[in-house]
Structure 1
């Protein structure tokens, strides 16, 4: 084994991990293989991202072919055909959106969306609209823009210099009213009206955009109450404020439709994606802009750059090849439909854990579920992390966030494999203190 010290691992207790490492060396379908040859069922699609399972041949072949043909081409004042082909393919997946801006991650997608929102208002002469409204308990990546609008304190406290002009509406999580909800909770639509409270402090004419995750994933799977997102849309429309959805997790079939905006029938002005866009085989993200946003920039002088923003690898040819093959696979295997059909089975399976030791709430929507555990006094996350380690030892990879176990298995998973996930978690809950 190579020395493990040189890699500073992200979002990891490095000392704990390197004392007892968990190393994966192969993947296929819904399984990882460890260094000692054990199979581990992937209950989290890697990190909410390998929606079609691992090492799918058609995607791998597309990557190999493209790397041999055109390994890299810049997209500053020059281009390559695949970036335009992929953008067109993506636009055809959703109605009312006309343009795609390519990035390399969800974090870059968020920063891009924020900059587009500011520049859009500037291009229209609305120079007072410089403020962002986000939500408590939100996660929008780890770049300075995303951390600034993110609502998780642990992700912010080490970094003092963040964006100014950001405020927050309240989160929607309420166990007292919504414990053990199946799908969208009945209580909480009125929480969207907290946005209007902020207009007293910040005149609505100063606000560029409101940004939310349609379903908040990394903070513990917080499913929006019925009507909540629609109410946000109404308020934003009434005050000429852009609405941005962060669909890095919910995009590409995770809740049974191409995007969460389809499922909830609420259209944002801009939405961000990454993860499932290439089945996580090559890093990539994309920002979708509704009709009219791109056009607002086109009054610039002829030959001028309309938006001073971009990345070296925006629209990378190998990523585009992976993305095209991924979308083709999603469609050929009808994985979004499969996700919708499997969702009720996952729902019933995960809710069967109600009443088990330590469980205080269970939440789900589509192929996402969460089991919230009672925290240990003065030791947040300890119980969930112990569950994570024991599940791994028993052949199951789960995700933990705070005191919550999160599940988001590949959309190709079978019912007996869902049963295995629930059985392992049930046994682990009985054994942990």
Structure 2
């Protein structure tokens, strides 16, 4: 009999394939095994504590170890551990959560539909949009526009929307119906001498030119994050959304606001849609919806979207789409309790209170020799680094700094050479200082090593 590995690290390498990981490198390096968490901190299986500066994956709003969410899950598990929402069936938690989300929406919405991840929510939005086009007798209207460096998930359709090369390479993506328009990153995309206002207008002009080139009658929808997350925490320039939205309205193109990262307080308002004055037809939600204690996501659709879809389902006899765990009662119960906590503890107000300190500490690194740009809003930000020794290897310096941070007890995520910060919304000003103090030490240590090897 083959002897199985003993340690959890060895068992992980032996049996598990990891997301966003070099599989062969993982066989050598092994995993960091997180064992427990409390507040903004997590602890590994060797007892070392880390500041979780990414809130897991942009998602643990109320912090780790929140007993109210645990208790909510147990209560619902004991009452009704599972049921579905197919074929005229329902249950209390999904009804309550749908009502809550439609009521919270910053623009008029008609219905909520539940999925299990942000990827599934965006994938379902595409299917809804295509279904609607057929219902309206416009089968040619199927093209979807998203943005270079946008992130919308990893299903075949959602990964096609995602405007990042590694989500397409060797997957035969993107699919034919998806197009990408200009990334609104002023520093890297603006032309010499172009002001932010001029750049914002050019982004809108680029979008309109793409629509006209494709044929407005073939373009169904535009997907965008209020603030781009995994593409590098790219905050749009002033005037960007004011220029983009009229183009969409001019050609009657649906607007899908991907609030998977921005939603539920991250930008200093309950939704990024409020922060930037957006008027979407569809909103996709996940992550901080349940603080990711359990998988759940949602789409909110307005009557303009819902009406034709409902009519077509009546004509066919069904809307032939659904997931086994859509609106799962335990996940929905946890999401409801999570939203209660966000509201009762005024975590959105808390973000507004502590954000100035977060942004101040973030921007203080702008003059460091390794830093090329700092970007942030609310409690989401990034510090982008560069050095001539890594000029020919994009992401190498970011990866090196990320490893140094982890050694020092801080978990971030390098998106190429941009180090992200998206801590739990419960973080305090002293903890913000603690987080950036660790970053400062790591940044100086890496800079010193680079100078020493010159």
TM range (shorter): over 0.9
* Equivalence for 1:81: 92
Q: Judge which range, 302-311 or 92-101, deviates more.
A: 302-311
Higher helix share goes to which structure? 2
Per the alignment, do residues 75 and 382 of structure 1 end up closer, same or farther by CA in structure 2, a change over 3 Å counting? same
Contact 1:233 1:268 in 2 (8 A): no
Equivalents in 1 of 2:326, 2:198: separation in Å? 41
Is 1:12 equivalent to 2:21 in the alignment? Answer: yes
* Equivalence for 2:392: 378
Equivalent of 1:401, from 415, 433, 442? 415
Per the alignment, do residues 186 and 424 of structure 1 end up closer, same or farther by CA in structure 2, a change over 3 Å counting? farther
Between Structure 1 and Structure 2, how many residues are aligned?
Answer: 429
What is the TM-score normalised by the length of structure 2? 0.91
1:316-340 CA-partner distances (Å, limit 9, x unpaired) = 0111011110010100100111112
SS at match of 2:298: strand
Contact 1:132 1:208 in 2 (8 A): yes
How many angstroms does 1:157 deviate by? 1.1
Matches for 1:321-336 after TM superposition, within 5 Å: 321-336=333-348
Matches for 1:355-394 after TM superposition, within 5 Å: 355-374=367-386, 376-394=390-408
Equivalent of 2:275, from 263, 268, 288? 263
Is 1:90 equivalent to 2:101 in the alignment? Answer: yes
How many angstroms does 1:176 deviate by? 6.1
SS at match of 2:391: coil
Equivalent of 1:55, from 41, 65, 83? 65
Equivalents in 1 of 2:313, 2:77: separation in Å? 37
1:97-125 CA-partner distances (Å, limit 9, x unpaired) = 11111000010011011111111222222
Contact 1:335 1:411 in 2 (8 A): yes
* Equivalence for 2:48: 38
SS at match of 2:311: coil
Contact 1:30 1:54 in 2 (8 A): yes
How many angstroms does 1:296 deviate by? 2.0
* Equivalence for 1:182: none
How many angstroms does 1:303 deviate by? 8.6
Equivalent of 1:351, from 357, 360, 363? 363
Per the alignment, do residues 301 and 253 of structure 1 end up closer, same or farther by CA in structure 2, a change over 3 Å counting? closer
Q: Judge which range, 302-311 or 162-171, deviates more.
A: 302-311
Per the alignment, do residues 429 and 23 of structure 1 end up closer, same or farther by CA in structure 2, a change over 3 Å counting? same
Equivalents in 2 of 1:313, 1:359: separation in Å? 44
CA RMSD of aligned residues (A): 1.9
1:68-121 CA-partner distances (Å, limit 9, x unpaired) = 111111211122121111100111111311111100001001101111111122
Equivalents in 2 of 1:383, 1:324: separation in Å? 41
Is 1:65 equivalent to 2:79 in the alignment? Answer: no
* Equivalence for 2:219: 207
Equivalent of 1:310, from 296, 310, 322? 322
Structure 1: segments with no counterpart, 5+ residues: 179-184
Equivalents in 2 of 1:31, 1:16: separation in Å? 27
How many angstroms does 1:299 deviate by? 2.5
* Equivalence for 1:239: 251
* Equivalence for 1:25: 35
Matches for 1:279-298 after TM superposition, within 5 Å: 279-298=291-310
How many angstroms does 1:17 deviate by? 4.1
How many angstroms does 1:415 deviate by? 0.7
Contact 1:129 1:206 in 2 (8 A): yes
* Equivalence for 2:176: 164
* Equivalence for 1:430: 444
* Equivalence for 1:320: 332
How many angstroms does 1:198 deviate by? 1.0
SS at match of 1:312: coil
What is the TM-score normalised by the length of structure 1? 0.95
Equivalent of 1:412, from 426, 430, 438? 426
How many angstroms does 1:16 deviate by? 3.7
Structure 2: segments with no counterpart, 5+ residues: 1-6, 191-195
Contact 1:298 1:306 in 2 (8 A): no
* Equivalence for 2:3: none
* Equivalence for 1:144: 156
Equivalents in 2 of 1:276, 1:176: separation in Å? 30
